[in-house]
Amino acid sequence: MTDDVRAVGWRMYEAFNTHDFGAAESIFAADFVSHPLGTTGAESVTRSWTRFHERFPDVEVVVEDMLVDGDKVAVRTTLRGIPADAAGQRPPTMLEIFRVQDGRIAELWGVSTLR
């Protein structure tokens, strides 16, 4: 189970980095909940990713650490390609925790240092 849960996380970041927004339908559950954004559904991810890439076209998420415990994954990432005025002194980082159910991400919590 650990490898399957980890694979979903890798697929999510790969889809984001390659602008494969259509992959959200197979990565996120239909009733997915993003707690930081207060949104639901896989289509909300597509909208969010699209807006983020419009604002920061060169952005790339680099996974620094990924820890799996049962159906939950904790990930520390660095965001590359963010202009200095939005990034500050260092590239922004994110901490995300997500829960996988039936092979898809069902819930996500997270914080970011992005301004």
Q: Look up the CATH number of the domain holding residue 6.
A: 3.10.450.50
pLDDT at 90: 85
Burial class (CB in 10 A: 0-12, 13-18, 19+), 71: middle
Number of domains in the chain: 1
pTM of the model: 0.93
Q: Which domain holds residue 50?
A: 2-112
Does residue 37 register a pLDDT over 80? yes
Judge whether 76 and 82 are in contact, CB under 8 Å: no
The three-state secondary structure class of 54 is helix
